[in-house]
Amino acid sequence: MHVAAAALVNDSGDVLVSQRKQGTHLGGCWEFPGGKLEPGESFDAALHRELKEELDIVPLSGRPLIRTRYDYPEKSVLLDVWKIDTYTGQVKGVEGQRIKWQAIETLDQRDFPPADVPIINALLLPERYLITGDFNDTEDFASRLTAALDAGIELVQLRLTHNWLQLHTRAHAAEIMSLCSRLCKQGSARLMLNIAEPTMITAADGLHLNSRRLLQTQTRPDYDLVSASCHNREQLEHAQSVGVDFAVLSPVKKTASHADARPLGWKAFHQLVDDINIPVYALGGLEAGDIERAWRCGAQGIAAISAYWK
């Protein structure tokens, strides 16, 4: 069953949720407004119809958020979800259903149907994901990261490469980690670390797994956030089975840093993420202006080094 659903977000950053009526499938659960497409009906027409029938509003602008599939014993559903930020009308429960505005960070997955959980994860993640690049010294690192945070970056991966770690002391690595953690906290950004170094990971919000370590992982690492680098369907499916919070799929375009890697292109990217129920960032040769194309192709947003590490 194909369902058109909306994550309706207001100016305060709260999202609208409605409660399923008792006696219906998953009655009592909270959900995101929407309903199934009628035969021959387009997604856009279905979303407009459902929001008018359920909430007495007409959506004006929004973007794709995520598509998620789930198999219940009774039926299989495909939730096609858009994030809606402007609309006309006054929101009300036209069908007598309970509705409420709720802060996104307070959404509890246990209150929602299983199919809706990836929607919550997507709402909790920002549109841009900075992966730190090269830097000359501590001052240069601080300057670049501060500029990115001032530009609105809310998710950062401190990427300490094998070569960099070979050339620098553990104390210097810990210094960079401490600086990065402090600046991210000041900028209200979450921080991922790409190495599970016990003395450093405690200062991060989560762990990022490269594709090799991902395939060696069979159970979700015990961190608040876990992400993974993927390059093909096998890795994406494994990331999903492990239970990571989000993935990065690359390279979408040709990159100077991985000149020998064959780019996926947007068509293949779209095909790969369409069957995956976790948020996936597009990475590889992308600029800030590619974000709308990324959304149309099913991405959570853009992950980048050069586009954000100035």
Cα separation values, 267 from 36, 122, 274, 293, 294, Å: 26, 21, 11, 11, 11
| Residues 166 and 286 placed together within one structural domain of the fold | yes
Q: Which of 106, 141, 165 is the last residue of a domain?
A: 106
Question: Residue 191 above 80 pLDDT?
Answer: yes
Q: Which of 28, 15, 34 is nearest to 106 (CA)?
A: 15
pLDDT at position 162 is 81
Task: Give the list of residues 6+ apart from residue 60 with CB closer than 8 angstroms, or none.
Answer: 86, 87, 88
Whether residue 94 lies inside any domain: the answer is yes
Q: What is the pTM of this model?
A: 0.95
Average pLDDT, the chain: 96
Range of the domain at 240: 128-304
Q: Which of 113-127, 194-208, 276-290, 294-308 has the lowest mean pLDDT?
A: 194-208
Alpha-carbon distance of 105 to 121, in angstroms, equals 10
| Residues 153 and 240 placed together within one structural domain of the fold | yes
Whether residue 132 lies inside any domain: the answer is yes
pLDDT band at 205 (very low <50, low <70, confident <90, very high): very high
Q: Which of 51, 75, 106 is the last residue of a domain?
A: 106
| Residues 79 and 206 placed together within one structural domain of the fold | no
- Here the CATH number for the domain that contains residue 95 is 3.90.79.10
Alpha-carbon distance of 65 to 244, in angstroms, equals 18
Query: How many Cβ atoms sit within 10 Å of the Cβ of residue 241?
Result: 11
Q: Which of 76, 106, 136 is the last residue of a domain?
A: 106
| Residues 40 and 178 placed together within one structural domain of the fold | no
| Residues 54 and 141 placed together within one structural domain of the fold | no
Is residue 47 a contact partner of residue 2, using CB atoms and an 8 Å limit? no
| Residues 281 and 138 placed together within one structural domain of the fold | yes
| Residues 299 and 221 placed together within one structural domain of the fold | yes
Model confidence pLDDT, tens digit, residues 57-101: 999 999 999 999 999 999 999 999 999 999 999 999 999 999 999
Whether residue 112 lies inside any domain: the answer is no
Model confidence pLDDT, tens digit, residues 232-281: 999 999 999 999 999 999 999 998 777 678 999 999 999 999 999 999 99
Element (H, E) at 216: helix 211-216
pLDDT band at 168 (very low <50, low <70, confident <90, very high): confident
Question: How many structural domains is the chain composed of?
Answer: 2
Is residue 5 a contact partner of residue 32, using CB atoms and an 8 Å limit? yes
| Residues 94 and 141 placed together within one structural domain of the fold | no
| Residues 148 and 297 placed together within one structural domain of the fold | yes
- Here the CATH number for the domain that contains residue 177 is 3.20.20.70
| Residues 134 and 279 placed together within one structural domain of the fold | yes
Whether residue 165 lies inside any domain: the answer is yes
| Residues 220 and 284 placed together within one structural domain of the fold | yes
* Widest Cα–Cα separation across the chain: 65
| Residues 59 and 146 placed together within one structural domain of the fold | no
